[in-house]
Amino acid sequence: MAIAVLRQVKQALSNLSAREIRQQAERPVCVGLVAASAESMGRMETYFAPPHLSPGRRAESVRSLVRGSHSGCDLEIYESNLLRPARAFSFDPESPDDCVRRIIRAREDLGLPLARTLFPFRKPVSHHMIRSVSKENALFCLATALPDIVPSIASLGWAIGEFGSDAAFLTMNQIRMAFYLAAASDRRVGFREQRSEVASIIAGAFGWRALARELIGKVPFGGGLIPKAGIAYAGTFVVGKSLERLYRVGYGFTREERRAVYEEAYEHGRQIAGMLLENVRPRKAAG
């Protein structure tokens, strides 16, 4: 059985391209900054290119920042007390992180290159990726058991039939997440470059498979699916959060920290699955 799962994982990993992720992260970005004074401009530049960065990394960040409004910029950021075009974003020096969060929500296409180039984007973009992939994995587990909700995961971009098992998909998606987190943190990306992380994720797939199988059995409709989806969400969330810390400060979670994060994420994953199944039950009853 273990050999079969490994074969499925290997097949699933053929869908991944570390090169594409690297290219996406290394895409040049241009951010126009508009401020009312030189002092305000200096505060904005210092926020987006903080002095604690190494000289080389800070120089790269500064090169992506352009003073003034320019049509060639990927996005423009205006000081909050200035009138701005509808497409531009507002920067309040009292709460600068709010500007970053708004940009991430509105311009997901720029998330990875912004995170790699501009330090304030790194952590929130990584957290956004972790939550997104965790939810994808939870929804995939439900979709394989309940065809009724397949339309709900149309945004995943993967065909369910391409994967031999839930474990194969979850493993592939967690490794994809690891590639994105490394790229967002300006780390080396790839199977060889991240072989320790990849090996750990593949090993974890067997534990998830055994635990999830225990929960399905013969239970009332959805009774075993909710815990299964919760496990998929929590397992992915813990992997992502631990990797994000590893790339940010050089070490991951302790065993106690992993347990605490897992328990909280498990409940959140159960809630997501429960809300989805509540929408499925009326349709099944009507049929």
Domain range list for the chain? 2-23+121-286, 30-117
- Band the pLDDT of 281: cuts 50, 70, 90: low
User: Smallest Cα–Cα separation from 121: which of 136, 141, 107?
Assistant: 107
Question: H helices of the chain, where?
Answer: 2-13, 18-25, 38-48, 55-63, 96-106, 111-117, 119-145, 166-184, 195-216, 225-249, 255-286
Instruction: Give the pLDDT of residue 167.
Output: 79
**Which residues lie below 8 Å from residue 126, measured CB to CB, with a gap of 6+?**
115, 181, 184, 185, 240, 244, 247
8 Å CB contact between 80 and 92: yes
Residue from 201, 61, 224 nearest 144 by CA:
224
Residue 123, judged by CB atoms within 10 A of its CB (0-12, 13-18, 19+), counts as: middle
| Cα angle value 273/276/280 (rounded, 5°) | 130
pLDDT in the model for residue 274: 86
* Residue 158 banded pLDDT, cuts 50, 70, 90: very low
Confidence of residue 280 (pLDDT cuts 50, 70, 90): low
Range name among 35-39, 190-194, 256-260 with the lowest pLDDT average? 256-260
What does the pLDDT read at residue 217? 46
Q: Which of 32-41, 79-88, 159-168 has the lowest mean pLDDT?
A: 159-168
Mean pLDDT of the chain: 85
Q: Rounded to an integer, what distance in angstroms lies between the CA atom of residue 130 and that of residue 252?
A: 15
The model's confidence at residue 48, banded by pLDDT at 50, 70 and 90, is very high
Q: Give the pLDDT confidence of 57-108 residue by residue, as tens digits.
A: 999 999 999 999 988 999 999 999 999 999 999 999 999 999 999 999 999 9
Q: 165: Cβ–Cβ under 8 A, 6 or more apart, which residues? A: 5, 8, 209
Kindly provide the b/e burial profile for residues 45-68, where b requires at least 16 CB atoms within 10 angstroms of the residue's own CB. Answer: bebbbeeeeeeebeebbeebbeee
The per-residue b/e assignment along 164-195, b for 16 or more CB within 10 angstroms, e otherwise, is ebbbbbbbbbbbbbbbbbbbbbbbebbeeebe
Cα–Cα distances in angstroms (integers) from residue 283 to residues 99, 147, 286, in the given order: 41, 12, 5
Digit-coded pLDDT (tens) for 212-237 = 555 444 444 445 678 888 888 999 99
pLDDT band at 1 (very low <50, low <70, confident <90, very high): very low
- What is the share, in percent, of the chain residues with pLDDT greater than 90? 61
Query: Any idea which of 41-45, 196-200, 210-214 has the lowest mean pLDDT?
Result: 210-214
pTM as predicted:
0.85
pLDDT at 228: 83
The model's confidence at residue 112, banded by pLDDT at 50, 70 and 90, is very high
Least confidently predicted of 14-18, 124-128, 278-282: 278-282
